[in-house]
Amino acid sequence: MKSTSAVKARAQARASHDIDAAPAEVRRLTVDRRLDEAVGGLRARNPELSAATGLWPWQRRALIGGAAVLIAGLVLAPETALVVLLAILAVPFLCVVLLRVIALWQLRAPAAGRSSVVGGAGDEEQLPVYSVLVPLYREAAVVPGLLAALRALDYPKDRLDVMLIVEAVDAETIAALRGAEIDAHMRILEVPDGAPRTKPRAIQYALQITRGDYVVVYDAEDEPEPDQLRRALTALRAGGDSIGCLQAQLNIYNSDASWFTRGIVEQTPQEVNPPAPNITGHDREITRRPLRHISAQEQASHACC
């Protein structure tokens, strides 16, 4: 008996095929709607959550008032004003330090009581469909390595929905993808040109036609551990409704290549790049549930990770 996720994925695939087979005018209107949603969907639905609306009036007044108080303080009592200013600036840094201490404490917690990785014997049919989004722009050189890394993922291929997202103006990367051997569970999605030409826009465009119950976003140069999807699924299920997104551990494989890569390693927080192996590959694992309520453009930009 096929799982509900697999049946739903096939239904969505048929719907996507029907759109692709529709007349040119219908396809154009569908594409236009997707682009409108990708760029302005959040602003139209929830402007208070969108950065496109800029500062709210009360925020502008607060900034102007704060600047006026600071200037007056520096003029009337400069030393006291500087002490107060430094104390105020220290609060956000203390919060960051506290967050990192809590994260490191969690990393050092004993593994007892943690759920085992999903997908044991007899569980394969129950695994949900996973959509893997890989936005690319001028990344033709990494296509062979990327495809090899995606093929190495230890997850049933009939439950993988891999979308290679490329800008329509990026002829070089499109040619590299079309010239490569693309597996049956992978598809190339060309994002029509437009502004802003950004990764969030491309991801939001693709998310509207994903088939999975869970979504992961990879960068083109990522090399995720083969069991990453299973580990992430285990963590998301264990967290219940309190977790909607996971930030994977970042392991930099070329840390000794140059002073630049060494600097990246040094400035990366240890809770993001801990010494112990975990869910690796600088990506974000997201459930579909929160994506129904807030824009994926914000979701994919550290909003809840």
Task: Let me know if residue 152 belongs to a domain.
Answer: yes
Q: What pLDDT is stored for residue 166 in this prediction?
A: 94
Domain end point (choices 68, 85, 108): 108
Q: Which of 226, 219, 238, 220 is nearest to 284 (CA)?
A: 219
Query: What percentage of the chain carries pLDDT values higher than 90?
Result: 34
Q: State if pTM tops 0.75.
A: no
pLDDT of residue 14: 46
pLDDT digits (tens, 9 = 90+) for 256-282: 777 777 776 666 655 444 443 444 445
Question: Which of 85, 108, 131 is the C-terminal boundary of a domain?
Answer: 108
218 and 79 together in one domain: no
Per-residue pLDDT tens over the stretch 204-241: 889 888 888 899 999 988 888 899 999 888 888 887 77
Which residues span the domain enclosing 32? 4-47+122-248+283-303
Query: Would you say residue 153 lies in a domain?
Result: yes
Q: Which two tokens stand for residue 25?
A: 């005018």
Question: Are both 71 and 184 inside the same structural domain?
Answer: no
CA separation for the pair 46, 115 (Å, rounded): 36
Domain identity same for 26 and 74: no
Does a structural domain hold residue 276?
no
Query: Do residue 38 and residue 61 come from a single domain?
Result: no
228 and 99 co-located in one domain: no
Instruction: Report phi then psi at 63, rounded to 5.
Output: -65, -45
> What confidence score (pLDDT) does residue 248 get?
72
Same domain, 128 and 95: no
Instruction: Over range 34-49, report the average pLDDT.
Output: 78
Q: Are residues 132 and 232 in the same domain?
A: yes
CB atoms within 10 A of CB 214: 24
From residue 50, how far is each of 39, 180, 246, 291, 297 by CA, in Å? 11, 38, 22, 15, 9
| Confidence tier at 295 by pLDDT (50, 70, 90) | very low
Residue 76 shares a structural domain with residue 177: no
Domain count of the fold of the chain? 2
Asked whether residue 21 falls in the same domain as residue 170, the answer is: yes
Q: CATH code at 147?
A: 3.90.550
Cis amide leading into 196 (omega within 30): yes
* Residue 186 within a domain: yes
139 shares a domain with 41: yes
Where does a domain end: 71, 86, 108? 108
Spatial CA neighbour of 270 closest among 285, 242, 249: 249
Query: What is the rounded average pLDDT for all residues in the chain?
Result: 77
Q: Within this chain, do residues 290 and 157 fall inside the same structural domain, yes or no?
A: yes
In a domain, 264, yes or no: no
Do 138 and 174 share a domain, yes or no? Answer: yes
